Structures are given as structure tokens and as C-alpha cells.
Amino acid sequence: MRFPTKQESQLRNEVAILQNLHHPGIVNLECMFETPERVFVVMEKLHGDMLEMILSSEKSRLPERITKFMVTQILVALRNLHFKNIVHCDLKPENVLLASAEPFPQVKLCDFGFARIIGEKSFRRSVVGTPAYLAPEVLRSKGYNRSLDMWSVGVIVYVSLSGTFPFNEDEDINDQIQNAAFMYPPNPWKEISGEAIDLINNLLQVKMRKRYSVDKSLSHPWLQDYQTWLDLREFETRIGERYITHESDDARWEIHAYTHNLEYPKHFIMAPNPDDMEEDP
């Protein structure tokens, strides 16, 4: 009898999770097969990850515009996970894969080996994830829920915009995380908007009940930005699938463009549906 290794258990957990997930922002499981000795999992082919993109950029950090574009996609994928009571538990830039080498790429979450199925108020207590991205409640063994992932999103935003970690691994990182002891050094934070810093502050909240949810984050002024919406709509138009923005927001952004003398792309204006144009009897 062969007993599964820790890595194999994580792999089987990942497969079990991915088999029930079908979303453009989550890596697609193509197939799985096994021999008496090994387990093989085939995922869709993608192009690098967010960490590589950050490190290879000109300043070893990403501009706000690109970060907003990618973080919005991460949050939309997380919303799908959390709706299904799944917590990723190991969100970090290495687990945000890119579908192409384009400046504004589609992103997909991967590596669900630590993922857990959990309810809104149910709490797990096992230690999961990568230390630099771990939420305080995990380190304290106090149990965790969906908000665990939101702390990790806060770290991702910080890393993307600065190219550095909010918490210093050379010192006692656990104490830093449990006290949210991080700073915004003038280089580079003096160049970064106050709205970005405000979102990070609301995500890196030690108390889970104070930490922003997915929907609250998506509604934050930093992400509710006309240029970000344009970038996302251009992307959706290019791939022929709308899953990030919603048509209920179209009129709001069209009015915003008109009142601020901004250009509103004509190809975003929906042609009227003939069925809606029938004359009243």
C-alpha cells in the first residue's frame, strides 16, 4: 500500500476544488490521470505570473493603472470563489498567472492546494499559505474565513505598487503581521495615490470584521476609475467575453465621460435591441 505524500494530498485537494470551478479568472483543469507511482494533472497553458511581471518591469514595480487592471480581475475571480464558499488560502503574485505577455493581460488564479471549503461564519484553524502573505488570524490560530484572502490581496497591491513587501522577513515577521506594523517609505510611496494607500489600509486590517470584503474593495474609489473601466472593457471586447464589468454600469460611465469632456469609445455604445423597439399598440 502506498500512502500519499503531503504534496500529493495538496494536489488531490486542488483537483477536487478545480473540478467544481469554471470561471475565466481561474485556471482551467484540462485533465488528471495517475499511474501506480504518480499523479499527473494537466492545466491550461499560460504565460508567466504576476511576480515575474513585477520584477521584469522598468522600476521593478507596476504602475497604478496596470495594478488596478489586474487587481480588479483578481477580485472578480475571488468573488466567484467566495460565493461558492471556497477560500484560496495562498494568494500571492506567483499564483496569479498571465494568459499573455500583453501589457494588460488576462489574469487567472492558480495553485489551489491549500484551498478550503468554508462557510461565512465557520472558522478553520490549520496554518495554511505563505508566511509573507499570511493574515494575523492564521498566525494566532484563531480560525479564519473568507477575509483571509482579502488580507493577501492587500499584500499583493502593496507589492505590485512598491516592489517590496510590507513586512520585513529579516525581522520577526509574525509580530509585524499580527500588529499590522508596516510603513509607506517616501520612495516610492510619495508617487502613489492616497486612494491606493487607503485601499491597502482597509485590506490590511488585523480585525477580520473591519477588513474590506471583495464587493467593498471593488466599490472602492481607487478601482472605481474611468480609465480602469475603459481598460477592462477594451480587454473584454478583445476576448469577446464580458465577465469583469457589468452592463448596468455603462450608462454611469458614459455620463461621467460626457460631464468631464472625456472621450467615450463609440464601439462601447450598445446597438438597441430590436425586440425592445416594438411600438406600443
Residues marked active site are found at 90
Distance between CA atoms of residues 267 and 114, nearest Å:
42
Cell numbers at 233, concatenated: 472593457
Q: What is the 3-state secondary structure (H, E, C) of 26-82?
A: ECCEEEEEECCCCEEEEECCCCCEHHHHHHHCCCCCCCHHHHHHHHHHHHHHHHHHH
Q: Where are the alpha helices (DSSP H) in 179-249?
A: 186-189, 194-203, 214-218, 226-239
Report DSSP letters for 104-130, one per residue: S--EEE---TT-EE--SS--B-S--S-
